[in-house]
Copies of this chain bind each other. A is one copy, B any other.
Amino acid sequence: MRRSKKERQERLNQTIRENPFVTDEELAQEFGVSVQTIRLDRMELSIPELRERIKYVAEKNMQDEVRSLPIEEVIGDIIDIELDKSAISIFDVKKEHVFKRNGIARGHHLFAQANSLAVAVINDEMALTGKADIRFTQPVKENSRVIAKAKVIRSQKGRTIVEVSSFVGSDLVFRGEFSMFRAPSAEKEEIDETRN
């Protein structure tokens, strides 16, 4: 026994967490014990076998991939929409949205939610943001749920003013007035069929 079972198991746990791609064989060598001991340890700690671990990491990746695309398309989930009138979306602030130093949401995420909603509410093929006057009225912390409400203020020949107010609970955290225009429909590029 090198330094008691307990210590080995703790280090084992950490080692695997750091590098999930390590085999029992390699672990046995690293800790100077037999493969069987490693297997017993894994059982006691309920750490799955290598292949399961790899699979888990891979699956997590796939989930992220499908998750990140729609998030890119529309930031936040639209829960209600009345075209050319109003729309509501929710956006959950996770750790990837905040400054690491203080846990406050980075401004551009709140902007993205609001801007995205302003685009979505417009009942037209294309909408582009022309101007925006925005205010971050209160810092938003990690794990908050931000509710953005967009309202179309007026609309006249290709220009639409949308006002978006975002709340956490009953606190106003963001307000913006977006001046959108229905895009000059810039020449659409051919879809490149040569790429994979």
| Chain A residues within CB distance 8 Å of chain B | 20-21, 51, 54-55, 57-62, 64, 68, 72-73, 75, 96, 99-104, 106-108, 111-112, 115-116, 119, 125-126, 128-136, 139, 141-142, 183-186, 188-189
Chain B residues with CB under 8 Å of A133's CB are 132-134
Distance of A73 from chain B, by nearest CB (Å) = 8
Which residue of the partner chain, among B54, B68, B100, B131, contacts A136 with CB atoms under 8 Å? B131
Complex Cα spacing A61 to B111, Å: 28
Mostly helix, strand, loop or mixed at chain A's interface?
mixed
Q: Judging by beta carbons under 8 Å apart, are B103 and A189 in contact?
A: yes
Question: Measured between C-beta atoms, what is the minimum distance from A138 to chain B in Å?
Answer: 10
Bound CA–CA A100/B70 (angstroms) = 11
